[in-house]
């Protein structure tokens, strides 16, 4: 039986503790800030530093190294250098949200993907939890974690905007969640490009202008960013800003309105993407 100890009694540390215990590992209670961490690497196969990213290096440095213990962190953006001077180091970042220990443990045991690097024990942890390990090198971890943040945090933030805009017409977020779920299902089945629908995908500038005019000024930058991403996906080219006056913009307004994308062989993205 493998043994583990966790430093950090927050959502991530408690989620992992519960999941490892359910997977047959022997795990003690997570250590908190008032506990003595100096001997935390003694007598276990794995020590996990499950603290906020900016505390990982200091916490790891306060633990006496052990030649037989793997010291790992759960950060998606940090490399292995923050775990110096420990001889066996690893990173283990689960690609699932961990909002509570109970929900987090279920998700960690539910076939999650784990970004790992360093000691092979990290991949063993992923396998014991029923998950899939993907290796992400230290130099790629910032970009990897940016993708993870977009996939989760930015989607949640966008749904916050949906909630605000919907409230203005007397509707709740629940009215739109089926639409979101169906779109995610289409992405999983077809890929983002084939799953994309809507006015930006078909170059329907008049509808985009009506959207812009209906939105409060503080909601427009987020909407315009979403349109730009949709146009880039539809055209397969970077979205460029438009000149003032396009799509209903007033000449004295900032040039951050609905973007126009020109692609080879066409005038607008709509002619390249077709009706969707």
Render pLDDT for 146-196 as a digit per residue (tens, 0 to 9). Answer: 999 999 999 999 999 999 999 999 999 999 999 999 999 999 999 999 999
Q: Distance (Å, rounded) from C-alpha 188 to C-alpha 182?
A: 10
Look at residue 131 in the predicted model and tell me its pLDDT: 98
Is the pLDDT at 274 greater than 70, yes or no?
no
45 vs 70: CA distance, rounded Å:
6
For residue 259, the model assigns a pLDDT of 45
Residue 12 has pLDDT above 50, yes or no: yes
Average pLDDT over residues 127-133: 98
What residues form DSSP beta bridges with 70? 46
Interatomic CA distance for residues 13 and 7, integer angstroms = 7
Q: Return the structure tokens found at 90.
A: 């690893």
CATH superfamily of 3-136: NAD(P)-binding Rossmann-like Domain (3.40.50.720)
Strand ranges (E), 79-183: 89-94, 113-118, 132-135
CA distance 80 to 89: 7
With cut-offs at 50, 70 and 90, classify the pLDDT of residue 252. very low
Token pair belonging to 203 = 């170059």
- Going from N- to C-terminal start, the domains of the chain cover 3-136, 143-273
pLDDT score recorded for residue 256: 43
Cis peptide before 91 (omega within 30 of 0): no
pLDDT at 275: 36
Give the number of other CB atoms < 10 A from CB of residue 21: 14
The predicted-structure confidence for 81-127, as pLDDT tens digits, reads as follows: 999 999 999 999 999 999 999 999 999 999 999 999 999 999 999 99
Q: How far apart are the first and last CA of the chain?
A: 55
Q: Residue 247: is its pLDDT beyond 60? A: no
- Strand arrangement, sheet containing 46-49: 26-27, 3-7, 46-49, 70-73, 89-94, 113-118, 132-135
Is pLDDT above 80 for 205?
yes
Whole-Å CA distances, 66 to 8, 25, 72, 81, 151: 19, 20, 13, 17, 37
Residues of the chain above pLDDT 70, percent: 86
Please indicate whether residue 40 or residue 262 has the higher confidence score (pLDDT): 40
- Cβ–Cβ < 8 Å for 12, 104: yes
The pair of structure tokens assigned to 233 is 């996906």
Rounded percentage of the chain residues whose pLDDT exceeds 90:
84
Residue 269, pLDDT above cutoff 90: no
* Residue located via tokens 């078909």: 202
User: Whole-angstrom Cα distance, residue 61 to residue 7?
Assistant: 13
Q: Given this model, what pLDDT does residue 236 score?
A: 74
């Amino acid at each position: 039986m493998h043994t583990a100890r966790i430093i950090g009694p927050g959502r991530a540390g408690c989620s992992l503790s519960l999941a490892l215990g359910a997977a047959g590992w022997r795990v003690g209670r997570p250590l908190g800030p008032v506990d003595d961490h100096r001997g935390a690497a003694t007598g276990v196969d794995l020590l996990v530093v499950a603290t906020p990213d900016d505390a990982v290096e200091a916490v790891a440095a306060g633990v006496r190294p052990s030649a037989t213990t793997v010291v790992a962190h759960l950060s998606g953006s940090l490399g292995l250098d923050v775990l110096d001077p420990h001889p066996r180091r690893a990173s283990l970042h689960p690609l699932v949200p961990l909002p509570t220990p109970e929900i987090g443990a279920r998700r960690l045991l539910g076939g999650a993907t784990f970004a790992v690097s360093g000691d092979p024990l990290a991949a063993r942890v992923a396998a014991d939890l029923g998950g899939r390990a993907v290796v992400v090198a230290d130099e790629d971890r910032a970009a990897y974690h940016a993708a993870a943040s977009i996939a989760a945090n930015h989607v949640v933030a966008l749904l916050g905007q949906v909630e605000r805009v919907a409230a203005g017409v007397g509707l709740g977020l629940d009215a739109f969640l089926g639409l979101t779920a169906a779109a995610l299902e289409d992405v999983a089945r077809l890929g983002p490009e084939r799953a994309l629908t809507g006015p930006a995908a078909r170059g329907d500038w008049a509808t985009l202008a009506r959207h812009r005019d209906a939105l409060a000024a503080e909601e427009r930058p987020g909407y315009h960013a979403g349109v730009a991403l949709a146009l880039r996906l539809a055209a397969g080219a970077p979205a460029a800003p438009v000149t003032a006056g396009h799509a209903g913009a007033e000449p004295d307004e900032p040039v951050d309105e609905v973007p126009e994308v020109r692609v080879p062989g066409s005038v607008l993205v709509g002619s390249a993407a077709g009706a969707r």
